[in-house]
Each structure stands twice: as structure tokens, then as C-alpha cells.
Chain A
Amino acid sequence: MINYIPPGLILIIAGFLLLIVPKQLFKPIALVSPLITILLTIQVPDGVILKSSFLDYSIELIEGDKLARLFALIFSIMAIGGTIFAINNIKSRELGFAFIYAGSAIGVTFSGDLISMFVFWEIMAIGSTMVIWNGLEKSSHKAGFRYALIHFFGGVILMIGIIGHIYQSGSSNFTTIELNSWPQWLMLFGILINAGAWPISSWIGDAYPEASASGMVFLSAFTTKTAVFVLLKSFPGTEVLIYIGIFMIFYGIIYALLENDMRRILAYSIVNQVGFMVTGIGIGTEMALNGAAAHAFAHIIYKALLLMSAGSVLYMTGKRKCTDLGGLYRTMPITTICGIIGALAISSFPLTSGFISKSMISQGAADQHLTYVWFLLTAASAGVFLHAGIKFPWFVFFQKDSGLRPKDPPLNMKVSMIIFAALCIILGTFPSLLYSILPFNVNYVPYTSGHVVAYLQLLLFAGLAFFILLPQMKRTLTISLDSDWFFRVIGKKLINYFSIELNILSDGIKRGTPEQINSFIEQIFKYHGPSGILAKTLPTGRTIFWVIIIFALFLFLTFVS
């Protein structure tokens, strides 16, 4: 019978328990429940195995297939890693909410119908908002609220899309969906908001870095990757995704290069990496889809690793700006090494997990003779190396001596980093481990000499460029306008130009409310505020006035018609 328990439910229940149990039970529950989840996940067979009903629709709480198992597996691995990293954080309610968040993400992957998918989707939004709120700084409340607004907005769009789709097609089945009329477009739009796709992508850089050190490790894994999963399942081969994905890739790179906060750099690089996956989904061949799925798998591990190492630095020093950091490699050797391994993996260095996954997406583009796409992907690989592969470790661990002498973090944090670093290398060295669980059969050999040499050259030149341009790179640390105006001004202008309309929603609120919005709210307040005309209640005369108006309206309309 144990097969029939939805794996995500275990984590959700454990999450609620963690919020209320006494201290002695906290660690056992936190450590055991993700393990049970993994066991249950692996055992889910193909096909629908748990059905229920809701309103007039059938609900398929567990429908197993290779793709679902792949994502559920990496989500539960992530839950374990994150738990080890955060296990000493008993005081805060963060871990409990993180479990609810992770459990609902797993719930999405096993959903067989759109309604249960949507329900888990919304729980995920609540759970992740709570994780951000438990950053417990003033700014994290506000960021958390902006995050919640954007995600509930996305949820609303998705919900209209789903209802419209069910209404049109009569089926709530969660499967490949043709983009043929507005409900499907709304669904796609709602999902893309969670994927962090342009134009509503600023929430990633805005909200994630406001979470606590361990909170961001969790956040990086689930929301965007669940969106990638849904896209993989519902919208493979949708051409528009190629362009959206490529835009995301470069958006992420440009913003990350301009950023000074180390965790914000990594947040923007999530957008960039998800861009690769979205592009792969847009290409839509088996090779590209496999690549997108594999890249999501690999990405969750190395991004978590990078954030653990950044989180350790934050935890030990309390500082998050690149300008305040530097020279930490002397006293934090393990954190440094793990950070570098993560950085190499994100740059797709041979023998790391990033290499075996990202190259599949490029190969997918090449197979389809999408020359420009292939070219842009390759160029972007160099860009990734610049912003995440070198910039992050260089400014945090090397560069100048900041005078800080922190130790390596506590044992549990070291353990989780070492596990994830090892996973990066194991997956990169033995690609068949990952390839065997991908949704389609893989006939792809990543380690051909030509491929390896080409990649090494690319990375080498990107590295060279970084150090040659180092003065310019450094200057990004102070806010200045100089010869780097190309990236800073033109690049940013270009993006702003296109996204200004929609970004006013998120970006505008983000950087201190601009005047227009303030005056807009003031206008609303003027009429709706406690003393505004619409909130006044006392005068009897006014109601009578309205009674007469509406009475007249009724009479007029009924008599003329």
C-alpha cells in the first residue's frame, strides 16, 4: 500500500510537523522524511495509480512517467541537501515551510491532471513566500510580499488558462497542450512567470536574495524548475520558447555582470540557466528535450552548491556585497573549493555535470540546423563563465584581501556542500548515470575530443577576457559610468526599452516606488482611504439618493426595453 502515498505529501506533512513539534523531534523528522520521499519517488510506476475526484473532475494525484520521476528525484535530493545545510536552523520556521514548498513541487511533478497540478502550484507559491518572509529582515517582508503578488498574479493567469482549457477541450488531463487559442496562451504565460521569463523576471533577483542563507538554497531549486517541468510536459516544441529562452539567457548574463551582491549574481544566473532549458524545450527534438531535462537536473545541484557556498560566506561574515568580500580562500578552503566546483559546473567545464547536460541542448539546436540559436548558445556559454564561473569565486574568495578571516562553516554545511560537489563531479564523469533516467533514449556521447577541446578553448578565451577586462569588471562594484557603458547603458537600455511596460509592475515597485505609482496609489487612497468618499458611511441622505437613482435606472431601463 505504501506505493500509493503521494511522495510530495510526505514532505508537506513533515513540513507542518516541523512547524509545531518540540525541539527533540525536529532533527529526526527533518532528516528522515526526505529519505522516505526519495524511496517513494523511485517506486512510482508508470501510469495513473492514485485517483480521486474534485467537483466533477477526476483527479489523478499520482501519475508516474520518466520525466516526473526525474524531476521528483532531483527535488527530493535537493530537499535532503538543503535540509542538511539548514538543519541547525531550528528556531526559525523556515525549514518547515521549505518542506511544504518542496513537497508541493514534487506534487506538481506527479500530478496527472491540471487541477491538482494547479493546487500544488499555489501551495508552492505560499510555501516559497513563507520561506522568503523568514529571512526576517525588514526588506525581506516587503520583497516577500512583492514576490507573493507576482506569483498569485501568475497563478491567476494560469488558473484562467486552465479553466478555459478544460472548458474548451472538456478534459483536465495534464499532457501535451496545443497552443491554439487564448486559454493555452494564458497557461503558457502563467507558467513562464514562474520560470522567471522575461518580461516578468525581476522577481528572482529581487526576492530570492532577501531570503536567509539556507532559504535561498531551497528557493533556487523549485519554483523555476517546476515551471520548466510543466513546460516540458505541456509545451514541448513551442517555437516562441526558443526566443524567450535566448532572451532570458542574455538578460541573466547582463544583469549578473552588473551586479555586486554575490547572491543576486547567482539569482540572475538562475534566469540565465533556465533560459537554456526553455530554449531546449522550444527546440523540441528528443535530443533538446533530454538536454533541457538533464540540464534542470544538473543545474539544481550546482546552483544549490553555489548558493550553499555563498550562503556559508554570508553566514560566517554577514556580508553579501562583492566589494566587502575577497581573499577568503585562506581561511575557508572547503567553501572555496566547493564554490569553484560549482562555478566550473555552471560553466559546463568538462568532467562536471554542466558539461554533459548543456551540450545536449546545443547539439539539439545543431541537429535542427538552427544556426543562430546554436551560435547564441555557444556565445552565452562564454558569458556564463564570465558572470558565474569566474566573477563569483574571484571576487568572493580571491581578488583583494578584504581583511576578513572567517572559518569554514559548521560541519553540517560543509557536509552538504561536499555531497553536492561530489554529485557534480560524479555526474560529469559518468554521464550514463543521468542519461539512463532521462525521458527519451540517449544516443549522445558528450566526451568526443573535438567537443572537449572546443569547449576548453571557449572557456579559456572567456577566462582570458575576464582578466583582461578585470579593471572594467571591478568598476562595476562602484556605481560608475565608464567605458563599460556598452553593457551597462546600452545593454540595460535595450532590455529596459523592451520591458519597461511590464516591468513597471515588478521592477518599478522593486527599486523604491517611483512617482507615478505613488501618485496612483495616492489617487486610490483619496477616494478609497478611511476618510475617502467611497469609504464614508454615515449619511442617510446619500443612500436615499442612491436608492432613487437606482430605482430610476431600473424603471428607465425596463420601460425603454
Chain B
Amino acid sequence: MLSQLPALQVVIPLIAAPLCVILRNKEISCLVSQAVSIVSFLISLILLQQVLNQNVISYALGGWLAPIGIEYRLDILNTFILVIVSGISSIVTIYSKKSIEHEIDSEKIYLFYTGYLLMFSGLLGMSITGDAFNVFVFIEISSLSSYAMIAMGKDRRAVSASFTYLVMGTVGATFFLIGVGLMYAMTGTLNMADLAERLPKVYETKAILVSFAFISIGILLKLALFPLHLWLPNAYTYAPSVVSAFLSATATKVAIYLLIRFGYTVFGSDFVFIKYPTAEILASLAIVAIIVCSLVAIFQTNIKRLLAFSSLAQVGYIILGISLNNLNGLTAAIVHIFNHAISKGALFLAMGCIALVIGSVKIKDMEGLGKKMPFTAFAIVIGGLSLIGVPLTAGFISKWYIILGALDKGWWVLAILLLLTSLLALVYVWRIIEAMYFRSSENVYKINEAPISMLIPMYVLVIMTIYFGIETSFSAGLASEAAKFLIGT
């Protein structure tokens, strides 16, 4: 049984999805998603335990061994991603019930959970698989279901946002597929480990260079690095709150994982960072992303949109960490995947509470919420502090490592610039806090705090945001193990 866990990790949500369609019951499908998420989370924890003991787990799907069959290959990095995805999913599904009932037509709810489970299994599959073509399959599974979920948003603009995302997502996936095809043509294998062995022999060929460009662009589109981000803000803004929270905490993060995987494992860091100026391209795009997206976030009036742009800026930090190509930089990137998932997750869940209670996420409608919804408002404060990177919050840890990484590289001007950009985050977080606490609302009608079933999952994330700002042996410890594993020291 234990040896079959890697398969179960993906298969359970995949089977549960059609189950929801068959049952056609919103209560049960919600329960099913919750149960599946929690089971997946437990599985990922067990896998993590195993990986820590034996370093790498290789699992041949269906008993077909690697070159012919599909291999699931687990190391510290992707097991860590599995834990993040399934952990966030557990929290989000527990949170989702009231919020979904409010934001989605009652007869569509079972379809929503179907899509959710499909997307969940797609994300898990993207992380777990050791086969390049299989990655494409799971990208499509997760993307198609996320288009559907975004389109379920209450706002009619959700449909057009979803359509834009569909076009961009398809372009990205196609680019990725072309890249994989070229690699296959050159090496005759799709297995990542085999690719890593055979690619060095054909490094010099133009086909491999082109395939690398295709794959990078495809992934960068998925992870929404500026200026390939245009699909993301609308998608996050008009999607149901639960979807925004889940997408921002996991979907872009898994895409980032793919970038790390292809950069460090498949192509190898010598090829990617030393032979070719990928690092310079990524770093300059990332810096522009951080500055521009933070500035755009400052002027937003819709908080979900503000958070979406802030996510884009945070993606910039992660990409920058990767492009530093040293232990501390990579650690920063991986630990920020985790830290940003929990703090941004908490913030989007808080937006869900606000959307539920006051029916709007406009900054002017949030005036005076500090008194009326004290718990939700406080959660936003903590999440916001973590975005700024204040000590004792998770964001600080990421900031610390990325500075170390920049110093390792000798880029201390960059280090200063990075820290100064956290002041931009201070400005946009301050705008929310100011509205909530220091402006009194004109509305006199009474507002209640969000239901406890939403507050508890949200506070799990809030407490984690603080906990992982102080005790970092899990988050930063695993991240630096993973980084060491990738860099090979």
C-alpha cells in the first residue's frame, strides 16, 4: 500500500471528480472535495517522510518501467510542492462551503467541485511526474478546469477573463509542447532523468536551443511573469474568491516549480545559467515585474485586483531568486513559494469573507471594517505585513534569503533595490489598512463578522504566516535541502 502512494496522490482526486458529477449533490460534493484534499495532504506528508529518508522515490506507473512507461519521481523539491498544494487545498475546501454557496448558482456547485478536483489532481500531477510529456497532459487538465472555474464567477466579466486566460493558457501549453517535441526529436526520450543524461550531448544543436526557448516561454506564460502576465489580474479578480485563493497560492507556484525543474534538472544549470544568458533575461524581467506590478497595485481600487498585482510582484521575487543561481537564491525562491502561498492565501480568503459579508471588494466599501469585522481585518493586517516582509512574519524569511543570494552573487545594489521595493508593498498594504481602520463608513447598517467556518481555515493560514516567520526548520529547512539537492552540493 505504502509503495503505491505516489499514484494514489494523483488518482484519488482524479477519480473523485467524476464521482461528484454522478452524485449531483452540492453538499456531498463539497464533503468529497474536503475528504479528498485531506487524504491527499496526509499522503503527501507520508511521501515527504519517505523522501527525507531515501532521497528519491521512483515509481513506475502501471508497472511499466521508465523509458517506456511513465515514471513518477519524487525528490524533496516536488514533495514539498505536493505538501503545499494539498495543504492549501485542504484549507481552501474547508473554507469554501459558505463562500461558494454565496458566489455560485446553487445548481452549478457540484460542477464547481468537479472542476476543482480535476484542477487539484492536475496540479499534483504536474508536480509529481517525471515525464516531460506527462507534464503537458497535467497542465492541460489543470488549465481546462481552471478556465471553467473562473468562468463561474458572479461578475459577467468572469467569462471574458476566462476566455482570455484560455487563449493565453493554450498558447503557453502549445509552446511547452513544441519544446518537448523538439527535445524528443533530438534525444528520443521523454523521461526527465533520461533527458538530463542525453541532452548534454546535443547541447550545441540549434534544436535544443529553440526547444529551451519554447519551454521557457510556455512556462513563463503559465507563471505570469511580467510582461506575460496579462491574463492573470482579470482571472483572479473575477473568479470566485475560493478560486482566486487557490490559484494564487498553488497554480502559479506549480508553474514556477516546473521552471526550476526544467532549468536545474532537465536542462541543467550549466546549460541554462552559465552557457546562456537566461539568468540575465529572467532577472531583468523579474526586477521590472517587481517594480511595475507593485506600483500598479498601489493605484488599484479593487482589492482582489490589488492582490493579483501584488502576486505578480511576488512572482518576480521568486523568479529573481531562481535567476541568482546560487544556494541562497534558490532557497529564497523555494521558501517564498511556500511563504507566499500561505500569506497570499490568507489574504484572498479574507477577501472572500469580505465579499460574502458586504458583497464588494472595492477599497471604498471596506471603510470602517476594522470595527465591524475585526477578525477578518486583523487577518489582512498580518497577511499584509508578511507581504512587506516585516520580521516575525513568513515574508521576512524569504526576504532574508534573497538578500543573501544577491550578496553571494555580489549584486549588492540589487539587494538594496529589492529591500526598497518592499516599501512599495508598504504603500499598498497601508491603503487597505487605512481604509479599514481609519476611515469611518457612511453605511450605518449593521455588519456581522464572517461565519466561523470561514474564519477558522483563514486563521490557520494567518497563524502559519506568523509561525513560519519564527520557526523555520520546516519551511526554510526543507527549501534549503531542496536547493542543495538541485545544485548538487
B-contacting residues of A (Cβ < 8 Å)? 54-55, 118-119, 122-123, 126, 133, 141, 145, 148-149, 152-153, 156-157, 159-160, 163-164, 167, 182, 524-525, 528-530, 532, 534-540, 542-544, 546-547, 550-551, 553-555, 557-559, 561
Contact = CB atoms under 8 A, between A and B. Distances in A.
B423 A528 contact: no
Interface in B280-303: 280-281, 285, 292, 295-296, 298-301
Contacts of A126: 385, 390
B419 A159 contact: yes
Contact of B281 (A118, A525, A535, A553): A553
A558 B212 contact: yes
Given A156-B420, A538-B160, A543 B168 contact: yes
Contacts of B49: none
Contacts of A156: 416, 419-420, 422-423
Contact of A55 (B164, B206, B434, B472): B472
Contacts of A133: 437-438
B301 A530 contact: yes
Contact of B426 (A152, A164, A524): A152
Contacts of B277: 557-558, 561
Contacts of A539: 230
Nearest to B415: A160
Interface in B11-63: none
B419 A551 contact: no
Contacts of A145: 430, 434
Give chain B's interface residue range (CB within 8 Å of chain A). 35 or more
B199 interface: no
A186 B444 CA distance: 50
Contact of B216 (A149, A546, A554): A554
B292 A119 contact: no
Contacts of A540: 164, 167-168, 230
A149 B420 CA distance: 11
Contacts of A148: 426, 430
B401 to A, nearest CB: 8
A163 B400 contact: yes
Contacts of B227: 543, 546, 550
The binding surface of chain B is classed by DSSP as helix
A543 B230 contact: yes
A54 B472 contact: yes
A152 B214 CA distance: 41
Closest 8 CB pairs of A and B: A554-B213, A119-B391, A156-B419, A528-B295, A546-B227, A529-B299, A528-B296, A543-B230
A145 B470 CA distance: 27
B217 A55 contact: no
A546 B228 contact: yes
11 contacts: A119-B391, A145-B434, A149-B426, A156-B416, A159-B419, A163-B404, A164-B412, A536-B230, A540-B167, A543-B230, A554-B281
A366 to B, nearest CB: 41
Contacts of A182: 412
B397 A55 contact: yes
B281 A149 contact: no
B400 A534 contact: no
Contact of A167 (B301, B404, B420): B404
Contacts of B275: 561
B154 to A, nearest CB: 19
Contact of B392 (A123, A141, A157): A123
A141 B220 CA distance: 40
B373 to A, nearest CB: 16
A141 B438 contact: yes
Interface in B424-450: 426-427, 430, 434, 437-438
B216 A160 contact: no
B196 interface: no
Given A55-B476, A558-B213, A561-B275, A164 B407 contact: yes
A104 to B, nearest CB: 10
Interface in B298-321: 298-301, 309
B299 A525 contact: yes
Given A530-B300, A540-B168, A550-B217, A119 B392 contact: yes
A338 B428 CA distance: 44
Contacts of B397: 55
B467 interface: no
Contacts of B209: 555, 558-559
A536 B234 CA distance: 9
A122 B399 CA distance: 14
Contacts of B213: 551, 554-555, 558
A544 B175 CA distance: 12
A163 B423 contact: no
Contacts of B234: 537-538
A536 B233 CA distance: 9
B221 interface: yes
B324 interface: no
Contacts of A557: 276-277, 280-281
Contacts of A149: 423, 426-427
A132 to B, nearest CB: 11
B295 A524 contact: yes
Contact of B423 (A122, A152, A524, A537): A152
Contact of B231 (A118, A160, A537): A537
Nearest to B293: A534
A55 B400 contact: yes
Given A547-B217, A547-B221, A534 B296 contact: yes
Interface string B310-340: 0000000000000000000000000000000
A122 B217 CA distance: 40
B193 interface: no
Contacts of B230: 536-540, 542-543, 546
Nearest to B231: A543
B412 A550 contact: no
Interface in B134-181: 160, 164, 167-168, 171, 175
A122 B281 CA distance: 34
B299 A561 contact: no
Given A547-B171, A550-B281, 15 more contacts: A54-B472, A133-B437, A152-B423, A159-B419, A160-B403, A163-B403, A532-B299, A536-B230, A537-B164, A540-B168, A540-B230, A551-B213, A558-B212, A558-B278, A559-B206
